[in-house]
């Protein structure tokens, strides 16, 4: 599908979003490991979370997802996951593949995890190595680095050390492996990555502690019962509307019920430093997660320098930051973000290539990019590179560009934010590719 877009000004929106993608994956996984029934409200309707649900179903978790009602999950509890007959298809979702690889490494049975063209290019050695050191058998293509990934679970030894990258997926994979096999973890992260797994486990009564970058999980078995949970809105989805509002003229957005966990709000903090009129107000707490309202409006922006330690809490928002930086006075420099090269696309290369087509002055570095702002954007024909966040970021750029923009091979937004196009404030026209 191709989507043609044009600019929009003066729009105002107040909205509530579906559940955060990271928290949705985790709530399905932890509900599947629980004894008894869980009820989950506001689960993400994105394709990535649907991939997690379908893999968990193949292993005996009963997950009932219907249009309007909350999702009901009857977990496998003490029985553990059943060995599936077929391959577990993780689709486009790195979170599904890496978190499940951990859970299955500590369970009993043989499991094969695979994904789409984009996932088959993403590095899996980062989970294969620690899980193998803990005692599971993992085999994968290209010297055990690319999926399909075969996992033969085992009773695992403790994990002591640091994951090789600052990644919440790798951290969570190790924690789930330890939980599934009742072993211990003494971990020190390389950076502050999203801490949803730790927070939810604590909420379920599992003795897991965090102290700065250190995380400890005592040896199990740890068991929990089914639970009721309302997934807070996704800050990474809210980010697109917030970015569009701060770049626009006469624009304003209010997003309610959003997860405001500080390990996720890095992008909003960076925008604030760039002069954006943005506010975050915590209104409640859910299983330890602060939840609240974000308001943002049309702003005069200045360039900024993003340091490596600021990367993990904003990790999914860098293509979007590049777009916003084109409207800022002065240079915006991002460093220490080489992880962007192994996301759903090479997000450094792709955002530089695509924004350049719109007239942006942007250069690539091995670990980031520099945007020389402000550069007025003009409509162009652009490629989405199988990447939901790139597609939505380019769509935000189209809102301030002169003329028409055409996104080719679009349709990826449904991976994480299926409602994106219904909230999109500008004109849009679809055609077959």
Minimum CB distance to ligand S3P, residue 342 (Å): 8
- Whether omega for the bond prior to residue 351 falls within 30 degrees of 0, making it cis, is no
Active site residues: 316
Nearer to ligand S3P, 297 or 344 (CB): 344
Which residues pair with residue 365 across a beta bridge? 368
Nearer to ligand S3P, 194 or 386 (CB): 194
Question: Closest Cα partner for 159 from 148, 175, 170?
Answer: 175
**Binder among 95, 173, 293, 345 for ligand S3P (CB under 6 A):** 95
Asked if 38 contacts 73 with a C-beta cutoff of 8 angstroms, the reply is yes
Site string for ligand S3P, 257-296 (x = CB under 6 A): ----------------------------------------
Question: Any contact of residue 315 with ligand S3P (CB under 6 A)?
Answer: yes
DSSP string, 263-289: TT-HHHHHHHHTT-EEEEEEEEEETTE
Q: Of 143-202, which residues contact ligand S3P (CB under 6 A)? A: 167-169, 172, 193-194
Q: Of 21-60, which residues contact ligand S3P (CB under 6 A)? A: 22, 25
Nearer to ligand S3P, 25 or 192 (CB): 25
Question: Closest Cα partner for 275 from 299, 258, 293?
Answer: 299
**Binder among 198, 339, 354, 387 for ligand S3P (CB under 6 A):** 339
Which residues pair with residue 138 across a beta bridge? 151
Question: Any contact of residue 251 with ligand S3P (CB under 6 A)?
Answer: no
Phi-psi region of 291 (alpha: psi -120 to 50; beta: other; left: phi over 0): beta
Read off the DSSP letter of residue 14. Answer: E
Minimum CB distance to ligand S3P, residue 142 (Å): 19
Give Rg (Cα) of the chain. Answer: 21
The residue ranges of DSSP E strands in 167-288, in sequence order, are 185-188, 208-211, 214-217, 228-230, 252-259, 277-286
Nearer to ligand S3P, 193 or 261 (CB): 193
Minimum CB distance to ligand S3P, residue 172 (Å): 6
| Unique residue bearing structure tokens 């797994």 | 197
Minimum CB distance to ligand S3P, residue 426 (Å): 25
Can you tell me the distance from the alpha carbon of 99 to that of 113, in angstroms, rounded to the nearest whole number?
11
* Number of residues engaging ligand S3P in binding (CB under 6 A): 12
At residue 205, φ and ψ (nearest 5 deg) are 95, 10
Read off the DSSP letter of residue 29. Answer: H
Residue nearest to ligand S3P (CB): 22
Minimum CB distance to ligand S3P, residue 125 (Å): 13
Nearer to ligand S3P, 197 or 370 (CB): 197
Question: Closest Cα partner for 34 from 225, 209, 181?
Answer: 225
Nearer to ligand S3P, 38 or 95 (CB): 95
Minimum CB distance to ligand S3P, residue 400 (Å): 26
Q: Using CB under 6 A as the criterion, which residues of the chain lie in contact with ligand S3P when the complex forms?
A: 22, 25, 95, 167-169, 172, 193-194, 315-316, 339
């Amino acid at each position: 599908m191709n989507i043609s877009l044009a600019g929009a000004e003066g729009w105002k929106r107040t909205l509530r979003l579906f559940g955060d993608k990271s928290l949705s994956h985790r709530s399905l996984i932890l509900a599947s490991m629980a004894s008894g029934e869980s009820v989950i409200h506001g689960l993400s309707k994105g394709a990535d979370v649907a991939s997690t649900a379908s893999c968990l179903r193949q292993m005996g978790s009963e997950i009932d997802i219907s249009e309007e009602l909350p999702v009901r999950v009857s977990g496998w509890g003490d029985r553990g996951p059943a060995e599936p007959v077929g391959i577990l298809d993780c689709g486009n979702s790195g979170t599904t593949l890496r978190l499940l690889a951990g859970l299955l490494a500590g369970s009993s049975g043989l499991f094969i995890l695979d994904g789409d063209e984009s996932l088959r290019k993403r590095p899996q050695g980062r989970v294969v190595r620690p899980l193998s050191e803990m005692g599971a058998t993992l085999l994968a293509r290209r010297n055990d680095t690319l999926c399909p990934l075969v996992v033969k679970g085992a009773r695992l030894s403790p994990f002591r050390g640091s994951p090789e990258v600052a990644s919440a997926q790798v951290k969570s994979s190790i924690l789930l492996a330890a939980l599934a096999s009742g072993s211990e973890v003494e971990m020190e992260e390389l950076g502050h990555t999203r801490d949803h797994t730790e927070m939810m486990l604590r909420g379920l009564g599992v003795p897991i502690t965090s102290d700065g970058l250190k995380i400890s999980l005592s040896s199990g078995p740890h068991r929990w019962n089914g639970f009721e949970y309302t997934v807070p809105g996704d800050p990474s989805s809210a980010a697109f509307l917030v970015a569009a509002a701060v770049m626009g003229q006469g624009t304003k957005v209010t997003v309610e019920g959003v997860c405001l966990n500080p390990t996720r709000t890095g992008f909003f903090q960076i925008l604030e430093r760039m002069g954006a009129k943005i506010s975050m107000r915590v209104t409640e707490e859910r299983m330890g997660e602060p939840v609240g309202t974000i308001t943002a409006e049309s702003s005069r922006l200045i360039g900024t320098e993003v340091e490596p330690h600021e990367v993990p809490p904003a990790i999914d928002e860098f293509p979007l930051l590049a777009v916003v930086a084109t409207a800022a006075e002065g240079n915006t420099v991002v460093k220490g973000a080489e992880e962007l090269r192994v996301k759903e696309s090479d997000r450094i290369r792709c955002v530089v290539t695509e924004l350049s087509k719109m007239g942006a002055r942007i250069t690539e570095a091995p670990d980031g990019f520099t945007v020389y702002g402000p550069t007025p954007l003009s409509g162009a024909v652009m490629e989405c590179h199988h990447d939901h966040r790139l597609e939505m970021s380019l769509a935000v750029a189209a809102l301030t560009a002169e003329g028409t923009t055409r996104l080719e091979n679009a349709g990826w937004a449904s991976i994480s934010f299926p409602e994106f196009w219904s909230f999109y404030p500008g004109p849009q026209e679809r055609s077959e590719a």
